[in-house]
């Protein structure tokens, strides 16, 4: 999958003109890349388009226009783009009530390492979490984690041939196992191209 570079980004002025239409396009794109793992956990699978949106929004919000600063943003977000052998996702643990969320996160230490994806007929692939920094400690986990799921050639081949894709969480606080809907599965399998 193509990584981001400065040539593929709009200037702040151009982004101001394109932003609303681009946002609508990205939100529709993200809809198929979002998988709910029960009522409190969501995976959003990232790709070049989602990361381009993230960088464009960051440049806009922070009013970044210096070449070195733009390159720093690109460097920070490019690792979240799949490379053809993996899926990369943002895990969000969501509770509407702040106190309930704080208490729940205290019971979920290590959950980010218990999220998995599986091609039917293959062993589960557990997440490699937060390669940029630790987001958990002995007392609690964070509400947001960045995950990478590495697949071998046989798993990728099976998925490209149409086998089912399953996801879940193997943690006592938020146990979950589901089959990914066909439209989302097809979208995610394209990340292996």
Angle at 144 between CA 139 and CA 147, to 5 degrees: 105
Whether residues 100 and 129 fall in one domain: yes
Question: What pLDDT was estimated at residue 1?
Answer: 81
Whether residues 102 and 74 fall in one domain: no
Domain extent, residue 11, equals 1-31+48-81
Whether residues 91 and 9 fall in one domain: no
Whether residues 77 and 96 fall in one domain: no
Whether residues 40 and 52 fall in one domain: no
Whether residues 121 and 171 fall in one domain: yes
The two three-digit tokens of residue 78, written as one number: 């490019």
Rounded to whole angstroms, the Cα distance separating 141 from 139 reads: 7
Whether residues 106 and 158 fall in one domain: yes
Rounded to whole angstroms, the Cα distance separating 14 from 61 reads: 14
User: Concatenated DSSP letters for 74-116?
Assistant: HHHHGGGS--SSEEEEEEEE--SSHHHHHHHHHT-TTGGGSEE
The residue-averaged pLDDT of 124-128 equals 97
Q: State the pLDDT confidence band at 190, using cuts at 50, 70 and 90.
A: very high
Return the closest-CA partner of residue 148 out of 91, 73, 77, 104: 91
The residue-averaged pLDDT of 85-111 equals 95
Say if residues 106 and 157 touch (Cβ distance below 8 Å). Answer: no
pLDDT over threshold 80, residue 130: yes
Question: What pLDDT was estimated at residue 139?
Answer: 83
- The SS3 of residue 180 is coil
- pLDDT tens, 35-92? 999 999 999 999 999 999 999 999 999 999 999 999 999 999 999 999 999 999 999 9
- The SS3 of residue 149 is strand
pLDDT over threshold 70, residue 133: no
Whether residues 157 and 70 fall in one domain: no
Whether residues 114 and 77 fall in one domain: no
Whether residues 122 and 166 fall in one domain: yes
Whether residues 95 and 167 fall in one domain: yes
pLDDT over threshold 80, residue 138: no
Tally of structural domains, the chain = 2
The two three-digit tokens of residue 124, written as one number: 């589960």
Say if residues 159 and 119 touch (Cβ distance below 8 Å). Answer: yes
Give percent of the chain above pLDDT 90: 92
Whether residues 41 and 52 fall in one domain: no
Average pLDDT, the chain: 94
């Amino acid at each position: 999958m193509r990584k981001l570079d400065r040539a593929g980004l709009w200037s702040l002025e151009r982004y101001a003109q394109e932003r609303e239409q681009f946002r609508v396009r990205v939100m529709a794109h993200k809809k198929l890349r979002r998988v709910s793992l029960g009522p409190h956990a969501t995976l959003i699978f990232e790709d070049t388009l989602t990361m381009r949106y993230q960088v464009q929004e960051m440049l806009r919000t922070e009013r970044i226009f210096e070449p070195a600063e733009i390159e720093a943003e690109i460097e920070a977000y490019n690792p979240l783009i799949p490379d053809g052998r993996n899926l990369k996702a943002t895990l969000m643990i969501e509770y509407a009530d702040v106190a309930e969320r704080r208490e729940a996160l205290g019971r979920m230490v290590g959950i980010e390492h218990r999220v998995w994806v599986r091609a039917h007929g293959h062993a589960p692939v557990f997440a490699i979490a937060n390669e940029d920094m630790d987001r958990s400690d002995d007392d609690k986990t964070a509400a947001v984690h960045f995950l990478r799921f590495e697949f071998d050639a046989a798993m990728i081949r099976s998925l490209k041939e149409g086998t089912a894709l399953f996801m879940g969480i193997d943690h006592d606080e938020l146990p979950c196992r589901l089959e990914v809907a066909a439209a989302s599965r097809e979208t995610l399998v394209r990340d292996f191209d």
